[in-house]
Amino acid sequence: MLRDTAIATRLATRNDVTPLSQALGRSFLDDPVMAWLFPEPADRLRRITAFFALMLERQHLKHGEVWTSDGLEGAAAWDSPGHWRTEFTTLLRNGPALIRILGRRTVTGLRGLTRVEKRHPRQPHWYLAILGTDPPSQGRGVGSAMLAPVLQRCDAEGLGAYLESSKERNVPYYQRHGFRVTEEMTLPKGPPIWLMWRDPQGTTGR
């Protein structure tokens, strides 16, 4: 696993949601899935940023861990074992906000989410829901540093890790961290995504 020990990381808090969602918005501006979900370029950045703010505050900070750098240059948002699926009550509570963000793409987005969730592994694991670094800070090992704490815990506790990569060019990056592609799927009238699983270091599994 790659790691840059020179980059200090810490757990994010609710006070970090605004700067982190802004950094993630810029990081995912050219993402194929985000372009599919938010097809209008004029307001894509605003909608992506709002989407990440909602997910960080109401899902990942509550049901997992969000790791960031001391400079708030990005985030690795993890859902802890057993908490990757958004509860129905949470969906209802977040419904109005999601509809405001997704607009006319709400139904399409939920259909895509349902299709992806059907392929989600059922055994206990940590789920990497989001990994993004602000473009000016990319290429310096920030992402690897933010990944390290949970991947180390997975190895120590014998737990797997799972993610969905929305860019083919990111697949080798995750492979260097021990992930392997288990399936490639395509969203409804949308782009492909790569489902990836990581066994705890020194073991084999799924």
b/e map of 188-198 (b: 16 or more CB within 10 Å)? eebeebbbbbb
Confidence band for 114, pLDDT divided at 50, 70 and 90? confident
3 state SS of 157: helix
- pLDDT at position 205 over 60: no
Q: Domains in the chain, start-ordered, CATH in brackets?
A: 9-198 (3.40.630.30)
Q: What is the sign, positive or negative, of the torsion defined by CA atoms of 40, 194, 163, 140?
A: negative
- Biggest CA pair distance of the chain: 47
- pLDDT tens digit string along 9-29? 999 999 999 999 999 999 999
- Mean of pLDDT values over 112-134: 93
pLDDT at residue 91, as a whole number: 56
Check whether 3 has a pLDDT greater than 70.
no
**C-beta separation of 112 from 190 below 8 A:** yes
Indicate the burial class of 82 (C-beta count within 10 angstroms; 0-12, 13-18, 19 or more).
exposed
Q: What is the pLDDT of residues 73-101, one digit of tens each?
A: 999 999 999 888 765 445 556 677 888 89
pLDDT for res 86: 64
Quick check: 51 and 27 in contact, CB under 8 A?
no
